[in-house]
Structure 1
Amino acid sequence: MTAAENAGVSSRRSDLGVPRLVGRDRDLSLLDQALDERPGLVVVAGEAGIGKTRLLHELLRRRPETALVAVCPPFREPYTLGPVVDAVRRLADRVAGLPLTGLAGALRPVFPEWAGQLPPAPEPLPDAAAARHRLLRALVELVDALGVGLFVVEDAHWADETTLELLLFLRSRREPSPRLVLTYRPEDVRPESLLRRLLAQAGVTRLEPGPLDTAGTADLVSSMLGGEPVSEEFAEFLRGHTDGLPLAIEESVRLLHDRADLVCEDGAWLRRDVAELDVPPSIRDAVLERTSRLGPQAGAALAALAVLEGERAPALVAEVAGIPLAEAEDGLVEALAGGLLHEDRDARVGFRHMLAARSVYHALGALERGRLHRRAGEALEREPVRRVAELARHFREAGDPGRWAAYAEQAADRAISSGDPRTAFGLLLALLTGGAVRGAAVSRLVQRMPLYAAPGDGPLRALVTVLRETAAGELPPAERTEVAWQLARLMFHVGDVEAAPVEMERAVPGLAQDRPVAAVHAMMMLARPLGTAHPAAHHRAWLERAGHLIEAAPGPSAEVRLAFLMDRAATLLVLGDPTGWASARDLPADGRTPGEVLQRARGFANLGEAAMLWGRYDDARRRLDAAAALAEQHQHLRLRDLVGATLAHLDWLTGDWTGPTKWHASALDADEPVLRADALLLAGLLDAARGDHRRAQEQVRAALAVGRPRGPADGSRDPSAVLARLAIAAGRPGEALAATEAAWRLVEAKGLWLWAAEIAPLRIGALLEEGRVGEAARAAEDFAAGTRGLDAPVATAARRQIAALLARADGDLTGAAGHFEEAGAAWTALPRPYDALLAREAAAGCRLAGGDRDRAVGVLREVFDGLTALGATGDADRVRRTLADEGVRIGARVGRPGYGDRLSPRELDVVRLLVEGRTSAQIARVLGLSPRTVEKHVHSAMRKRGAPSRTALAVVAVESGDVPLPGSVPRQLLTE
C-alpha cells in the first residue's frame, strides 16, 4: 500500500478481548425453562468448539442454586470419581460439622485429607459392586449436606464409569436430588459407556447449539474488537472457512490479529486481501502458530500446563516449567491476555479450550514431555493430598518404572476399596504390559488383579503373554510354580480350555507342597469338564483328589471348606453324576461371615444352573431365588445380575416371556460381556418365536461375538442349539449339522450325554432330513444309552422327541404322532410349554398326513391358541397357514389372503424346498403337511409362474428372486 492508498485506513491494532456469548439467547432461555419446569436431566450436546462450556458458564452465572461443577479431564486417566471429588473439594475445604451419618465413613478412600473429620470406615464388603454402591450413597449424602441444587458434569464423554454410575444413582432416587446438567460430545461416547444408558432414560431434555450464521459471526468478532463493527464480507468469509464454529472463528481472528492482517477501514474491521489470507486448516495449526508468537516464558508456562492438565496454581506451573515464579506469572499473564488461558476464582489458570491444551501437548518433543512429566510428578509428590493415579501417570510418562509401579498399586488399592475394580484392573494391566515390573513381581500383581473386571478377553490375553514371557525367564522354583498357576488360571479365563489344563497340572505339585488351598482351587478347575482332551472320568479323578487334599490340609477356613463343598456338588451334577443331588442336600445350612455368605450365594447360583441342565426347573428356581436374595441382601451386585440373567432364561423356558422381554432390553447395555451375550441370545430366541428368523440369527451371532462362548454344558443357553433350531426351521439341515458338530464331538469325547439333551433332537432330525438314516439311528442310540437311568426330565423329553423323529422318517406316521404326543407331555411336565406346543404341532402334522384330519385340526386349534397366548406369533402364523390349507379359518385373519399372481408364504416355503431338490414326501415332513397339500401348493405355484413342470418352476423361482439358490449368500448379509 502506498501512502495515498493508506488514506482513510487505520493502522491501529487494539488488543483483542474475550468474546462474549453471542447467538445463544434462545438456548439459554430453553435451559432455564428446562431447569425450572421439567424434571429429569438436561444435556447440552455438540462437537468440540461449538461453545457448550461457554453456554454452561453463562447459565451458571444466572442461576441462584449452589452448583457442583465436575469437569472431566481431556486425557482421561483412571481416577475413580476424580471429577466429582475435585468439584467437592472446590466447594468445601472441610466437612466437620456437616450432618453426615456413619455411612460417610466410606468416603475416606477418596477424601484421605478429611479422614479426621469423617466417621470411622465401615467394614469392607467382599463384592466390588456393593462397595461401589455404598460409596455412591455416601457421596450423595455429602452432596445433599452441602446443599447442592445443581449438579453439573462437563465433557461427560470423558467421565469415568463410577462417575456415570453416580449420575444413574441420582436419577433413580425417590428423594429430591440436585438437578443434573451434562455437556458431552456425541461422537466421542464409547459404545460401552454408561452415558448411553443415562441418555436413553425418560425425562431427558436435550439441547444442541448450532453453528453461528454470518450475523452471529460478525457479533462474535465485534465483541473481541471492543464492539466495533465488522464488514459483512469479512464475517461471511470467516463463517465459510470455519463452518460457523465459535472456537475456530475466535482462533482465526486471534491469528489474523497476531499477523497484523486485521485493519480498520472507514470504521469497519476487515482483512487485508482475500488472496493473501491463508486460514489454517485446523484449530491445532492456529493454536501452534499463535503460541509460537508468544515470549519464551509464556511458551514454557503453556507447556507445563499442558502436561499438568486442568487448572493449576502459578507456583506449580513455575516449578514444572523450571523457571522462576515471576517469569512464569509474566508468561501466564501474556497467555491470558492472548485468550489462550482462563483464570478461576482461586487464581488458578488453565487452557480455555481442551483442543488448545492437546495441541500444545502433542507439539512437545518426547524428551521434553518426559522432563516435564518428571518435574510434575516430583512437584505433586510434595502436595498434602497425593493424587496417586495422577502421580502414576506422570512417572509412567517420565520413564520411572519404580515410582510408576508404586503409585499405580496405591491407586489400584484405592480403586478397589472404592468399588471400582475396572480401574484397578487397568492400572495394574498397564504396569504389566508396560514392563514396569519384572520377574516374581509379575505373578504377585496378577494375583491381585480383579480379573472379572476385564473389559473383554483382549486384556486377559495380553496378561497371558506377559506371564508366558515371565515363565521363560530365570525364576526360583516357588516363583515358577506361582507363575505357572497364574498362567493356567488366565488361560482358563480366556477360554483356552485345551492348553490351560496342561499348564495347571504342571503347577499342582508345587502348590500342593506350599499352598494347599491354592492347590485345591487348581484341582477344582481341572475337575471342570472343559475341553475335549479328557473324558469325564479324568475330571472326576481331579475332583476326588481335591477332596482328599482339603481333608488333609491343616485347618482350612470355614469359607474355603464351604466353597469346596458347593463347587463339588455343582461339579458332580455337571458331570452327570446323580450323587451331586445328595451332596447338595447335605450342604451346611449356616455361614454368616461375609465370605461364607458370598460362597453360599455363588454356590446356590451354580447349583441352580446345574439343575437347569438336568431339566429340574422347580429345584433350579428355588436355588436361584435363594442366590438372588442373598446377593441382593448383601449387595453382591455383580452376582445378583448374573443370577438375574439365569432366572430370565428360566422364565423363557417355563413360559413366562414378559419378564425376559423386559430383562433383555435392559441387559443389552450391561457392562458385563456375559450379560450382554445372554441378553442377545434371549433376544434371538424371542425373535425366532415371533417369526423374524433373520433377526434372530443376527442376535445369536452377536452373542457369540460379545461374550465368552457357552457350550453344551450350558444346556438351552448353548448358542449352537439356537442356531440349529433356526436352520431346521428354515429347512437347511446341513447348517444345523454344522452348528452342532463341535458340541456333539465334545459330548462324544467326554461321554457326558446329558449335555446333548438340547442338541440331540435337532441333530438327529437334521441327519434324517439329509438322508443319513444310519448315522441318525446310531446317534439316537448313543444318546439313549448315555442318559438312560438318569432322573433328568429334559433327557426323557428329548428321547421321546427323537423316537418320534425316527418313526416319522420310517413312514410310521401313527407311531410318530404318538411319540410326539408323549414328548409334548414330557415337555409340559418340566414345564416347557413352548417345546410342548411344538411337539403337539408335529404330532398333528403326522396325523394330518396320515389322513386323521379331524383329530389333527382339533389339536392345531389348541396349539394355535397356546402359541398366541405365549407370544410365539411367528409359530402361530405357521399353524394358522396349515389350518387355512385345510379350509379352517381361525382368529382375526379369516380365510386365505388374496395374493394374486404372488406366491403365498406357504407356497414360497414349498418352492424353496423344491429348489433344494426335496421330494413332495420330504417337503411334507419338513413343513408338517400332507403330501396331497404339498402337491396342491406346487401346482398353484406352477400356474402363477407359468411353469410347465416342477423343474421349470424351480428355475423360474430362482431367476425371479422368489427364493435364493441353495448355498448362496442372502443379499442382506453381503455387506455384513
Structure 2
Amino acid sequence: MPSRRPDLAVPGMVGRDRDLSLLDQALNGRPGLVVVAGEAGIGKTRLVLELLRRRGETALVAVCPPFREPYTLGPVVDAVRRLAECVAGLPLTGLAGALRPVFPEWVDQLPPAPEPLADAAAARHRLLRALIELIDVLDVGLLVLEDVHWADEATLEFLLFLRARWERGPRLILTYRPEDVRPESLLRRLLAQAGVTRLEPRPLDTAATAQLVSSMLGGEPVSEEFAELLRGHTDGLPLAIEESVRLLYDRADLVREDGAWLRRDVAELDVPPSIREAVLERTSRLGRAAGAVLAALAVLEGERAPALIAEVAGVSPQEAENGLIEALAGGLLHEDRDGRAGFRHVLAARSVYHALGAKERSRLHRRAGEALEREPVRSVAELARHFREAGDPGRWAAYAEQAADHAISSGDPRTAFGLLLDLLAGGAVRGAAVSRLVQRMPLYAAPGNGPLRELVTVLREAATGELTREERTEATWQLARLMFHVGDVEAASVEMERAVPGLVQDRPVAAVHAMMMLARPLGTARPAAHHRAWLEHAGRLIEASPGPSPDVRLSFLMDRAATLLVLGDPAGWAVVRDLPAEGESPGEVLQRARGFANLGEAAMLWGCYDDARRWLDAAAALAEAHQHVRLRDLLGATLAHLDWLTGSWTGPTELEAMALDADEPVLRADALLLAGLLDAAHGDHPRAQERVRAAIAVGRPRGPADGSRDPSAVLARLAIAAGRPGEALAATDAAWHLVEAKELWLWAAEIAPLRVRALLEDGRVGDAAGAAEAFAAGTRGLNAPVAAAARWFTAALLARAGGDLTGAAGLFEEAGAAWAALPRPYDALLAREAAAGCRLAAGERVRAVGVLREVFGDLTALGATGDADRVRRTLADAGVRVGARAGRPGYGNQLSPRELEVVRLLVEGRTSAQIARVLGLSPRTVEKHVHSAMRKRDVPSRTALAVAAVESGVALPPVSVPRPFTE
C-alpha cells in the first residue's frame, strides 16, 4: 500500500563538500577573493550561505538586483544600511561627508558635505574612498556580493578599489553568471586579476540527486531509477530538481514502495521542460492570498517587509501573513533575519512576473510606487522604474531626473545617461524639456554611437514642434552637438550655423563653443578658410563678452592653438608659446589637461613627437593628480599610439585587454587599431584587417585629421601588401578627396605615399605624379617633419617606377633618415629596406646585402617578425642566409632591467608620472612596466608589488638616477 506523503522540507546541502572546503580555505588567507560562477539554479547562493552558517561569521551581504536602471552603489549601500542603524559616534573623518547623497537618513550624523567636484570620475573616486572608510570603521571582515553580473559600474569600480588594498580591506565573495557578463564590464578586469580563487559548482550526479530528493522527504531513500530519470530530465540542476519534486508532490504523484520513494509510473515521468512551467503550475495551486503575495513580490523584487507586501498586494495584513506562510511552506519564498520575505530564486520571481498580464503588472507597479513614496528612505531609481511601468510619465520623469542627479553627484555618469535616455526614448518628456534634458546628459558616458543616434532622432522631432525662439535655438544647438558626437559633421555644421545667431543673442558662451566646433576642420568638405573664419568670429566674440570666466577663456585659447595646428597653420606654435602658465581652479585645471591633450594630438599630426610626448605627459599628470579618469584613459590610448610610432610596442595580450576593458568606444577602437598594426607587423594580415574593420565599427569615425590613427591608411597598407592596388585606392579615396577639397595637405602625410604607390601599381603613372606634386606643393612651406619624410618617400616611389634605381635608393635613404629623426623606427626600416632593394636591383649587391642584414636584425628586435621574414626571403634570393636574431632579450618570469628601475622607484613612493619624469618615459610606458612586474610577481596591486620587492631584496640598492627638480 502506498504510504502517506511526508511534508516536504527545504533540500539539504548535498554534493558540495569539496566546494565548501575550497571556499573555507580561500577565505582563511589573503588575498581572499573568491568568485562562485555558474548558471542560474546551480546553487551558488546556497553554497555561500552554507559557508557563512558553518563559519559563524558575520558578513556584509549585498545582492545586485536585475533593475534596468542600476542604483549607483545601491547593493553595497543597502547592505551597509541593514548592518548599521546609525553612524553617530563612529570615528569618521571629514571624507565621510561625501556619503550624504547615498545615506540621506544619516545627514545629521555625517560630517559636512565636501565641496562639489566638477569631474564625475573624481567625485566617484571620493565617494568610493568614503564608503571604504565607513566599511573599515564598521569592522567588516567579509563582503559577499551576489549576482555581480547585474552590478552597476560604480559598484564594480568599488570592488576594484577594494582589491587594490586587499591587504587591509575585507575578504570578498562574489557570485555571478558568466553568460550574463557584458563584454565591456569591469567585472572581467576584476576576474582577470591574480590571486582569485574560482569555484564552479557542477550539476549533481545521480547519487547526489537521490540525496537531495531524500533530504526533502525526511531522509527516506529514493529509488535509483527515479533519481536517474529525474537527473536526466533536469540536467542535474539543483533548482530544477527541487521544483520538479515539489510539482510531483503537489500533484500527489509520489508514492513509497518497498522502502523507497518513486513516481507512480517512472516511464511516464513528465518533468516540465523549464523551471518557469514548474513554478507556474505550483503557484496555480496556491490560495488567493499566496498568489497575491507572490505577484506583489515579483513586482517589488528583493526582500520586503510584510506590511509593504500587503499594501502592494491589495490584501489585509492578516491575509498577507497567511499567504506568506503558505508560500514559505511551499519553498517558493524565504525570510531574512529581519523578517523580510523574498523569492528563494530570481528565476521563480521572473516566472511569476512574466505570467502577469500587462494591466495587472501596471496596476501593481503603481501600487508599489505609491507605497515606496511613503518610505522614510526612498530609492528614486526604483521609484522611476515603478512609475515607468505604471505608465505615469510625470512621476517617472521626476524620479528619473532625481536618480540621474544622484548618479552624477556619485560620479556615475553612465547610469545617469541611461536613465535620461530611457526618459527621452520612452516619450516621457516632450517639447522644450527634451533639449533641457539633453543639455544635462553626460554625452561622454554614452555606450557607443547607437544611443546617441537615438537621441538625435528624438531631438529632431522635438525641434519641429511648437517652440519659442529661445527654445528652438536651444533645441537646434543640442541637436548639432549630438550630430557632431555621432560623426555626422556635415549635417551638424548646417544645424550649428543655424543656431549661432540665437546663441550670440541669448548665450554668448555657448555661441563661442559652437563657433569653435565649426572651426574644427573635421568631416566637411569646406575649405580651411571657412574654418579659420569661424575661429576668428569666436575670438572677436570672446573679446567682446563682458568678463568671460578664466576657465572659459583658457578653454578658448587652448582650442585656438590646437585648431590652428590641425589646420596646418604654423601660427599655432606662436599661440602655444603665449598660453598662460597658471590657473589652478578646478575648471582651469581641467581645461589645461584637456588643452594639453589636444595639443599633443596636434603635434603628432605634424610629426613633432617630442613636443607631443611633453604635452601628453603633462595632460596625463594633471588628469591623474585631479582624478579626471576618463581623460586619463583617453590619454593612455593616445600615448600607446605614440609609443607605437616611436618604437615602444605594446604586446598583443595587453592590447586585447585594453580593447576588452574599455567602456569608451573610441578607446576600444584605438586598442583594436593598434592590435591590427601589430598583427600586420607580425605578418598576420587577415587578422590585422579584421581588427582594423572592427575598430572602424566600434569607434567614432576617424579620418585623415587623425594622422596615423586613420584606419583607411592601415587598410590601404594591407591592400598594397596583398597586391591589390585598386582596393588601396578605394580605401583612401574619401580621405584624399577631403584633403583636396579642404586644401589641408598636412593631413595627407600618412596616405600620400600609399596613394602614390597604389596608383603606380595600378598603372596610373600620370595620376601618381600629379598626386605627389599636389602633396609636395601643399606641404613644402611647412616645417612638419612627418610631411618631409613622406615627400622623400613619394619622390623615391616615382623615381623607382621611372627606372632610376640609384636615384630612388638615395631618396628612400633620405626618407629613412627623416623617419628615424622623428623617431619612427619602423617606417625608417621599411624605407631602408626599399633603398636596399633598389641597390640590389641596380647591381650594388655588397652594399645592399649589408643594409638588408642590418634591417633584418632591427626589424626582428623591434618585433616586426612578418617584415623580418620578408627581408630574410629577399636575402635568400640573393644567396645569403641569415638566422633569426634574438631581438630584445627575454627575461621569463624575471624582472627586466627597466622593470627593476621602475619597481625600485615605486618602492620609494613615486607615482607613475614621477617615475616617468625620472626615467624619461611616458606614464603609459611606466604603467606597462608596473603591470608586467605585477604579473611576473603574481601580485594584485602596486602596494603588493612594492612589498614583494622589498621582501625579496629586489628594491635594493636604489636606482641610480637623478631626482627631478619638482615633484
Q: Which residue pairs with 1:166 in the alignment?
A: 158
**Matching of residue 39 in structure 1 with residue 31 in structure 2:** yes
Q: Which residue pairs with 2:528 in the alignment?
A: 536
Query: For each residue in 1:872-926, what CA deviation from the matched residue of structure 2 results, as whole angstroms up to 9, or x when unmatched?
Result: 12212221221222222323489xxxxxxxxxxxxxxxxxxxxxxxxxxxxxxxx
Inter-partner Cα distance in structure 2 for 1:651 and 1:250:
57
SS at match of 1:604: helix
Segment of structure 1 superposing worse, 133-142 or 661-670 = 661-670
SS at match of 1:180: strand
Give how far 1:75 is off.
3.7
Q: Which runs of 5+ in 1 are unaligned?
A: 1-7, 895-976
Inter-partner Cα distance in structure 2 for 1:703 and 1:81:
32
Pairwise CA RMSD of aligned residues? 1.5
Q: CA 1:362/1:25 → structure 2, altered by over 3 Å: closer, same or farther?
A: same
Give how far 1:164 is off.
1.0
Q: CA 1:155/1:758 → structure 2, altered by over 3 Å: closer, same or farther?
A: same
SS at match of 1:9: coil
Q: Which residue pairs with 1:420 in the alignment?
A: 412
Where does 1:831-870 land on structure 2 (aligned, <5 Å)? 831-870=823-862
Q: 2:731 aligns with which of 736, 739, 751?
A: 739
**Matching of residue 290 in structure 1 with residue 282 in structure 2:** yes
Q: Are the counterparts in 2 of residues 76 and 159 from structure 1 also a CA contact under 8 Å? A: no
Q: CA 1:278/1:65 → structure 2, altered by over 3 Å: closer, same or farther?
A: closer
Give how far 1:663 is off.
5.8
Inter-partner Cα distance in structure 2 for 1:865 and 1:163:
49
SS at match of 1:181: strand
SS at match of 1:44: strand
Q: 2:367 aligns with which of 375, 385, 389?
A: 375
Give how far 1:277 is off.
4.0
Inter-partner Cα distance in structure 2 for 1:27 and 1:891:
52
Q: Are the counterparts in 1 of residues 183 and 660 from structure 2 also a CA contact under 8 Å? A: no
Q: Which has the larger radius of gyration?
A: 1
Query: For each residue in 1:201-246, what CA deviation from the matched residue of structure 2 results, as whole angstroms up to 9, or x when unmatched?
Result: 2222211111111211111111111112222222122112111111
**Matching of residue 322 in structure 1 with residue 332 in structure 2:** no
Alignment coverage as a number of residue pairs: 886
Q: 1:565 aligns with which of 544, 557, 568?
A: 557
Inter-partner Cα distance in structure 2 for 1:660 and 1:854:
37
SS at match of 1:498: helix
Where does 1:627-642 land on structure 2 (aligned, <5 Å)? 627-642=619-634
Inter-partner Cα distance in structure 2 for 1:512 and 1:158:
46
Query: For each residue in 1:855-882, what CA deviation from the matched residue of structure 2 results, as whole angstroms up to 9, or x when unmatched?
Result: 1111112212221222212212221221
Q: Are the counterparts in 1 of residues 655 and 675 from structure 2 also a CA contact under 8 Å? A: no
Inter-partner Cα distance in structure 2 for 1:649 and 1:398:
50
Q: Which residue pairs with 2:805 in the alignment?
A: 813
Q: Which residue pairs with 2:330 in the alignment?
A: 338
Q: Are the counterparts in 2 of residues 827 and 836 from structure 1 also a CA contact under 8 Å? A: yes
Q: Which residue pairs with 1:489 in the alignment?
A: 481
Q: 1:233 aligns with which of 225, 229, 232?
A: 225
Q: Which residue pairs with 1:395 in the alignment?
A: 387
**Matching of residue 650 in structure 1 with residue 642 in structure 2:** yes
Q: Which residue pairs with 1:360 in the alignment?
A: 352
2:548 is aligned with what amino acid? P
Inter-partner Cα distance in structure 2 for 1:419 and 1:709:
28
Inter-partner Cα distance in structure 2 for 1:873 and 1:215:
55
Segment of structure 1 superposing worse, 47-56 or 530-539 = 530-539
Q: Which residue pairs with 1:798 in the alignment?
A: 790
Give how far 1:664 is off.
6.1
Q: Which residue pairs with 1:468 in the alignment?
A: 460
Inter-partner Cα distance in structure 2 for 1:103 and 1:416:
18
**Structure 2 length-normalised TM:** 0.90
Q: CA 1:616/1:681 → structure 2, altered by over 3 Å: closer, same or farther?
A: same
Q: Which residue pairs with 2:963 in the alignment?
A: none
Q: 1:730 aligns with which of 697, 722, 729?
A: 722
Q: Are the counterparts in 2 of residues 262 and 269 from structure 1 also a CA contact under 8 Å? A: yes
Give how far 1:711 is off.
0.7
Q: CA 1:877/1:45 → structure 2, altered by over 3 Å: closer, same or farther?
A: same
Give how far 1:604 is off.
0.5
Segment of structure 1 superposing worse, 414-423 or 554-563 = 554-563
**Matching of residue 598 in structure 1 with residue 590 in structure 2:** yes
Q: Which residue pairs with 1:9 in the alignment?
A: 2
Inter-partner Cα distance in structure 1 for 2:752 and 2:438:
41
Q: Which residue pairs with 1:206 in the alignment?
A: 198
Where does 1:38-57 land on structure 2 (aligned, <5 Å)? 39-57=31-49
Inter-partner Cα distance in structure 2 for 1:533 and 1:547:
23
Query: For each residue in 1:504-530, what CA deviation from the matched residue of structure 2 results, as whole angstroms up to 9, or x when unmatched?
Result: 111111111111111111111111112
Q: Are the counterparts in 2 of residues 532 and 749 from structure 1 also a CA contact under 8 Å? A: no
Q: Are the counterparts in 1 of residues 413 and 445 from structure 2 also a CA contact under 8 Å? A: yes
Give how far 1:116 is off.
1.5
Q: Are the counterparts in 1 of residues 36 and 198 from structure 2 also a CA contact under 8 Å? A: yes
Give how far 1:661 is off.
7.4
Q: CA 1:273/1:664 → structure 2, altered by over 3 Å: closer, same or farther?
A: closer
Q: Which residue pairs with 1:153 in the alignment?
A: 145
Q: CA 1:422/1:893 → structure 2, altered by over 3 Å: closer, same or farther?
A: closer
Q: Which residue pairs with 1:713 in the alignment?
A: 705
Q: Which residue pairs with 1:280 in the alignment?
A: 272
Q: CA 1:376/1:250 → structure 2, altered by over 3 Å: closer, same or farther?
A: same
Inter-partner Cα distance in structure 2 for 1:519 and 1:77:
34
Where does 1:614-629 land on structure 2 (aligned, <5 Å)? 614-629=606-621
1:530 is aligned with what amino acid? L
Inter-partner Cα distance in structure 2 for 1:273 and 1:641:
64
SS at match of 1:627: helix
Query: For each residue in 1:323-363, what CA deviation from the matched residue of structure 2 results, as whole angstroms up to 9, or x when unmatched?
Result: 11011001000100111100000000000011110011111
Give how far 1:703 is off.
0.8
**Matching of residue 763 in structure 1 with residue 760 in structure 2:** no
Give how far 1:99 is off.
2.5
Give how far 1:38 is off.
5.5
Inter-partner Cα distance in structure 1 for 2:583 and 2:659:
31
Inter-partner Cα distance in structure 1 for 2:739 and 2:653:
32
Q: Are the counterparts in 1 of residues 332 and 344 from structure 2 also a CA contact under 8 Å? A: yes
SS at match of 2:28: helix
Give how far 1:658 is off.
4.8
Q: Are the counterparts in 1 of residues 525 and 738 from structure 2 also a CA contact under 8 Å? A: no
Q: Are the counterparts in 2 of residues 611 and 619 from structure 1 also a CA contact under 8 Å? A: yes
Query: For each residue in 1:546-591, what CA deviation from the matched residue of structure 2 results, as whole angstroms up to 9, or x when unmatched?
Result: 1111111122111111111110111111111110111111111111
Q: Which residue pairs with 2:679 in the alignment?
A: 687
Give how far 1:9 is off.
2.2
Give how far 1:40 is off.
4.7
Give how far 1:258 is off.
0.9
SS at match of 2:489: coil
Q: CA 1:321/1:658 → structure 2, altered by over 3 Å: closer, same or farther?
A: closer
Q: Are the counterparts in 1 of residues 861 and 885 from structure 2 also a CA contact under 8 Å? A: no
Q: Are the counterparts in 1 of residues 70 and 151 from structure 2 also a CA contact under 8 Å? A: no
Q: Which residue pairs with 1:940 in the alignment?
A: none
Give how far 1:648 is off.
1.2
Give how far 1:123 is off.
1.7
Q: CA 1:731/1:815 → structure 2, altered by over 3 Å: closer, same or farther?
A: same
Q: CA 1:516/1:382 → structure 2, altered by over 3 Å: closer, same or farther?
A: same
**Structure 1 length-normalised TM:** 0.89
SS at match of 1:345: coil
SS at match of 2:334: strand
Give how far 1:37 is off.
4.2
Bigger relative CO (Cα 8 Å, ≥ 6 apart): 2
Give how far 1:371 is off.
0.9
1:13 is aligned with what amino acid? R
Identity %: 87
SS at match of 2:832: helix
Inter-partner Cα distance in structure 2 for 1:66 and 1:271:
42
Q: Which runs of 5+ in 2 are unaligned?
A: 887-967
Q: Are the counterparts in 2 of residues 40 and 171 from structure 1 also a CA contact under 8 Å? A: no
Where does 1:107-126 land on structure 2 (aligned, <5 Å)? 107-126=99-118
SS at match of 1:562: helix
Segment of structure 1 superposing worse, 666-675 or 751-760 = 666-675
Query: For each residue in 1:691-742, what CA deviation from the matched residue of structure 2 results, as whole angstroms up to 9, or x when unmatched?
Result: 2222211111111111112110010111111111122222221221111111
SS at match of 2:490: coil
SS at match of 2:89: coil
Q: 1:678 aligns with which of 650, 670, 679?
A: 670
